Amino acid sequence: MVSRIKIIFPLSGINLLISFFIFFQTSYSQLYNFKKFSIEEGLSSLGVYSLCEGPKGKLWVGLEGEGVNVFDGNEIFHYSDHHLGQNVRVIFKDSNQKMWFGSSHHGLSILDNEKMFKITTDEGLFVNHIRGIIEDQNKSIWVATLGGGVTRIENYKVTQNISLKDGLPSLNCRAILLRSNSHIWVGTDEGIAVFESGKIVGFLNRDSGLPSNKVLSLFEDENGFVWVGTEKGLVVFKKRKLLIIGSHHELKNQRIKSIIGHENQTVWIGTQSGLGKVTLHDFERKVYEVVWYDDQNGLSHNRIRCLYKDASNAVWIGTYLGGINRFFNESFAMDTRQNGLLDNVITALNWNEKDSSLWIGSLDEGIEIRFDSEDKRIISTSCGISNNHITSIAHLSNGSIVGTVDGVNLIENFEFSRVWDNYYNSFTSNRISDLVSNGKLVLGITDKSELFLIRDTGKVFLDLTLSTHLMEVFNSYINGISVVGSDFWIGEDSFLKNVRITSNGIEKIKSIPIGKVVKIVGEEDDFIGYTTGNKLFHVINNEISWDYVFDKSEEVKFLEKENNNSYWVGLKNTIINLKFNSGINRYDIITYSQNDGFMGLSSIRHAVTKDFRNNIYIGSIRGLLKIKPDKYQGEKRDLKVYLKKIIDQNSQQDNWIKYSDSIVDGIPIGLVLPHNMNNLVFHYDAYNLKGPDGVTYQITLSSDEDFTFETDATHEKFVDLSPGEYKLKIRAKTQWGEWSKDPLLVDFEILPPIWLTTSFQTLVIVLILVVIFLIFKLRTHKLEKEKKKLEKLIAIKTKDLNEEKEKSDKLLLNILPAGVANELKLNGFATTRKYEKASVLFTDFKGFTKMSSEMSPEKLVQKLDEIFIAFDEVIERNNLEKIKTIGDAYMCVSGIPDEYPNQVKNIVLSGLQLVDVMRAFNEKQKLNNEPEWNIRVGIHTGELIAGVVGKKKFAYDVWGDTVNIASRMESNSEPGRVNVSLETYNEIKMFFNCEERGRILTKNRGELDMFFVNEIRQEFTKPGALKSY
């Protein structure tokens, strides 16, 4: 539940400012985009103690009982170093990019450029239980411990331990803070100790006004306010004044475990009852606001242990038993049935300006009407409307029009009034596709492209005369209807037409040559729209000034105007904010996906509206999404690109130490490569934890010329690089930011091969001249000798050619059917042919992979050869066409290249005979104490295409869904059984005894009917009996 509290109290003269509860406001428990990371996403433990962004932008996670995990934006992996300890309470990155890890029992671990250092009680710590780490202005590290006070560390050595004898109020130190004035605050079980220059100079405790001596968290914001989390509330401190936020009415839980900054004197607090957002509006007048988020709003677990804000301003939440949550962009919120919405599937929306109400149409529950007062009304079939499946909503001055799948309903004063449907001859189809209103008229359309008009002249009625006239004017297919100002627009297949409807009739105003327009929004002479082909367009003064076509995989769901320059475009799983800038065709497109907060996945077409505050509402199959457009403006980041590795594809070389002078941060310096290492793949990344898929890279490869391009990929391949010196520059940005100020730079050189050097080329020229002279001398002598040899050779070759032709003809007949082979020889190609009914048989051996690993390759091939020779005999005997073998799989077809009556029966009979072949084979295996080969057979009958593929090593092959289903029959068969589909079963059920298996779920095919063929019926066991049928 999201809770809001506002506190206002007159200024008094005392230093301790005690706040009192004034009022408490609770809104609907809307869902927010809490991205969850749990065991399923790779997290090693659900208990999270600490979070910190590492030197390269990866997120380091301290866990309960499982050490440390690292998240790079795509996947989570375990950092398996036993030095870190199992319970990592604190992770800290110092100014030199070194990572410090504090555990419950193993002291401190420091990761410095892949080297690990340890500091424990053996090195001078009082205890090994670490609770906090900071770095002061002198680069000294200060460590808060539980039971051992405070320790200062310099150059990995303990230089000072501060305990009770030094004035520390308690050895249990749970939080530590470096303030902007260089003072260090330490939160203990007995209050706060203030340090200056390594000495305690002051205290804050209950006597000073703290609600509790037990301090759990500390944070200083950019305005110098210190936020103190205690066991009994939150305290804001500045200039010796305290503001206590601690009553149960203000905070759902007073134990403030963690505090991080947000912006403008706003902090996030983590408690045992969820996540709080506290905004300090006026410290002196004690005006502040608290917003609360918990599991009702999408948080995985209410008990929060730690908070962290990354470079993208995303809030990371470590919980006690719910793993990690990432919270980003509060401008998106979702209402569902869980928090009071009438239905999760919202199919229609419209804002009624007359009474400032939001009308929400659902799939199964009718209409919910919401008011600013948070009152609501429900209108459903129980109130009289024709159907609870709402398709569209429009408003008039004296009523509201509601389209359903069963007619149009008039709602007056929030009560059902009447319905128009085909019973009254209003239209032939009752399914209403869309409704649009100009305040006085509603234009509607059915799913059969029938237009109709509803008028409001003080009384609302269906104008049958104008509706009939409208249908006569627009008698072709209508793709969509819209209203701009007081005029209606109708999208035909070739034109977008503007019509004005008056009491005198229908007036065509203008036509714009844009076909298949679904919807337009905007002003009379300046609007945008989209077509059924997913094309956006911008029309200014009746001319198309701009267009943009989405990928075919996308689908435009809706279009909504925010203001004169800004529009929202809904796609299948994302929403786009389109903004036009000053100048011709200058525009920005910002895409919001799940990583940017958008939760309206699978939005419903046309289900969008806007209220008077400019909030956008979107209907989806998951609920009602609300967007506050001005809430989030994006976070501009200067992304740093890191080189992960370089691989030469020719040699698979990825270690460049011997080819470079040194390696710095993974980048080879002075890299010089031989000529044959010129196919290089560069792997890089700019770690953006909020959404790695939202990063765009600009790559420039400089040599004699500069080659620059942009990509979303995190690796790039450069092939056949010519010898020369190169400079690779890679920059990155998100859609909000600018290109990296400091790009990744990789300099390298590719040496020329020896034959391109000047000395080698000179030597070659000399040798060529000598060779030419010798050849000239020998040529004359050899000519006569060669002539005789040539005559003899021609005779031999002619004989060889004739013999080879006979061999090739025989080989061709082994590969292809005779008819296909003859066609191929005559024409040079074979015609692909479609067969209406053919049967495909697949076999393979269960456990073949294991068996092959336990058998020598020679023996494995010998066994396969023995089996497939026996299979070939069965196939040839039953007039089938062998297609191919793939490993242990065998494939053949009946009914090609020529169809014949018994083709289905023959292939099923062959399947049984193949089982018999393997049964005999396995008897021999048993005698030789060798493993059995368990065959599975699958058959399906249907359409397929057969033909020859390839130009050199051609093959006769078949394609089609029949092949895929036959493969599924085989994979779902059992050893020693013949499994057939329903189509094959219907062909052979009179001749074979079969066993029904029912519908079985198959890969990528859903459920399919399957049957085992057990044996041929008794009456057909005599030779030739099947042929008579």
Burial (CB count within 10 angstroms: exposed 0-12, middle 13-18, buried 19+), residue 807 = exposed
Per-residue confidence band for 705, with pLDDT thresholds at 50, 70 and 90: confident
Q: The tokens of 824 are what?
A: 């191929």
Instruction: Give the integer Cα–Cα distance in Å for 116 and 309.
Output: 26
- What's residue 178's pLDDT? 96
CB within 8 A of 286, min separation 6: which ones? 7, 8, 9, 11, 17, 19, 243
Q: Which of 954, 965, 841 is nearest to 896 (CA)?
A: 841
CB within 8 A of 763, min separation 6: which ones? none
Q: Calculate mean pLDDT across residues 977-993.
A: 94
Q: Beta 88-93 vs 233-238: how paired, if at all?
A: unpaired
Instruction: Give the integer Cα–Cα distance in Å for 367 and 379.
Output: 5
Query: CA triplet 874, 877, 880: central angle to 5 degrees?
Result: 80
Contacts of 894-897 with C-beta under 8 Å, sequence gap 24+, read 894/838, 894/839, 894/841, 895/835, 895/837, 895/838, 895/839, 896/817, 896/833, 896/835, 896/838, 896/944, 896/946, 896/958, 897/817, 897/819, 897/820, 897/833, 897/946
Dihedral, 254, 259, 262, 267 alpha carbons, nearest 10: 30
- What's residue 585's pLDDT? 64
Please state, for a pLDDT cut of 70, what percent of the chain lies above it: 92
The pTM (predicted TM-score) of the whole model is: 0.69
Each residue's pLDDT tens digit, 180-228: 999 999 999 999 999 999 899 999 999 999 999 999 999 999 999 999 9
Query: CA triplet 967, 968, 969: central angle to 5 degrees?
Result: 90
- What's residue 21's pLDDT? 34
- What's residue 1029's pLDDT? 47
Instruction: Give the integer Cα–Cα distance in Å for 661 and 24.
Output: 67
- What's residue 634's pLDDT? 64
The distance from CA 931 to its chain's CA centroid, rounded to whole angstroms, is 46
pLDDT for 632 beyond 70? no
- What letter would DSSP give residue 387? -
Per-residue confidence band for 128, with pLDDT thresholds at 50, 70 and 90: very high
* Range of 391-405, 554-568, 606-620, 1009-1023 with top mean pLDDT: 391-405
H/E element holding 168?
Answer: none
Q: Is the dihedral of CA 518, 522, 524, 526 positive or negative?
A: negative
Q: Which of 853, 899, 861, 855 is nearest to 880 (CA)?
A: 899
pLDDT for 953 beyond 70? no
pLDDT for 803 beyond 70? no
Q: Which of 84, 137, 86 is nearest to 108 (CA)?
A: 84
The 10 Å CB-count burial string (b at 16+, else e) for 983-998 is: bbbebbeebbebeebe
- What's residue 806's pLDDT? 65
- What's residue 945's pLDDT? 93
* Number of Cα atoms under 13 Å in the Cβ half of residue 398: 11
Instruction: Give the integer Cα–Cα distance in Å for 986 and 236.
Output: 81
CATH value of 827-1028 in 3.30.450.20, 3.30.70.1230, 3.90.950.10, 2.40.170.20: 3.30.70.1230
Per-residue confidence band for 602, with pLDDT thresholds at 50, 70 and 90: confident
Per-residue confidence band for 635, with pLDDT thresholds at 50, 70 and 90: low
Of 583-597, 858-872, 879-893, the poorest mean pLDDT is in 583-597
Q: Facing residues of 196 across strands?
A: 199
- What's residue 694's pLDDT? 78
Q: Calculate mean pLDDT across residues 981-988.
A: 94
User: Could you tell me which CATH number the domain at 642-756 has?
Assistant: 2.60.40.10
Of 142-151, 544-553, 800-809, 919-928, the poorest mean pLDDT is in 800-809
Q: The tokens of 833 are what?
A: 């042919």
- What's residue 1014's pLDDT? 93
Each residue's pLDDT tens digit, 456-503: 999 999 999 888 888 888 888 999 999 998 899 999 999 999 998 887
CB within 8 A of 503, min separation 6: which ones? none
* Number of Cα atoms under 13 Å in the Cβ half of residue 557: 25
The more confident residue out of 16 and 1027 is 1027
- What's residue 22's pLDDT? 33
Q: Beta 23-26 vs 315-319: how paired, if at all?
A: unpaired
- What's residue 12's pLDDT? 35
Q: The tokens of 434 are what?
A: 């869309």
The more confident residue out of 14 and 844 is 844
Q: Calculate mean pLDDT across residues 577-602.
A: 78
Q: Calculate mean pLDDT across residues 966-993.
A: 94
Q: Does residue 297 sit in helix, strand or coil? A: helix
323, 38 Cβ separation under 8 angstroms: yes
Residue type, 751: L
- What's residue 14's pLDDT? 31
Q: The tokens of 388 are what?
A: 């609870």
445, 456 Cβ separation under 8 angstroms: no
Instruction: Give the integer Cα–Cα distance in Å for 305 and 481.
Output: 53
Residue 700: φ, ψ to 5°: -125, 120
Q: Does residue 797 sit in helix, strand or coil? A: helix
- What's residue 918's pLDDT? 94
H/E element holding 464?
Answer: helix 464-473
> Is the backbone peptide bond immediately before 975 cis, with ω within 30 degrees of 0?
no
- What's residue 1028's pLDDT? 45
- What's residue 965's pLDDT? 94
Of 547-551, 579-583, 968-972, the poorest mean pLDDT is in 579-583
Instruction: Give the integer Cα–Cα distance in Å for 296 and 29.
Output: 6
Per-residue confidence band for 177, with pLDDT thresholds at 50, 70 and 90: very high
Instruction: Give the integer Cα–Cα distance in Å for 286 and 9.
Output: 6
| Tokens 């001319």 belong to residue | 543
Per-residue confidence band for 246, with pLDDT thresholds at 50, 70 and 90: confident
Each residue's pLDDT tens digit, 618-628: 999 989 999 88
pLDDT for 529 beyond 80? yes
Strands (E), 286-328: 287-293, 304-309, 315-319, 324-327
- What's residue 17's pLDDT? 40
- What's residue 828's pLDDT? 64
Q: Calculate mean pLDDT across residues 854-877.
A: 91
- What's residue 796's pLDDT? 80
- What letter would DSSP give residue 171? S
* Rg of the chain in Å (alpha carbons): 39
Per-residue confidence band for 812, with pLDDT thresholds at 50, 70 and 90: low
Please state, for a pLDDT cut of 90, what percent of the chain lies above it: 60
- What's residue 16's pLDDT? 40
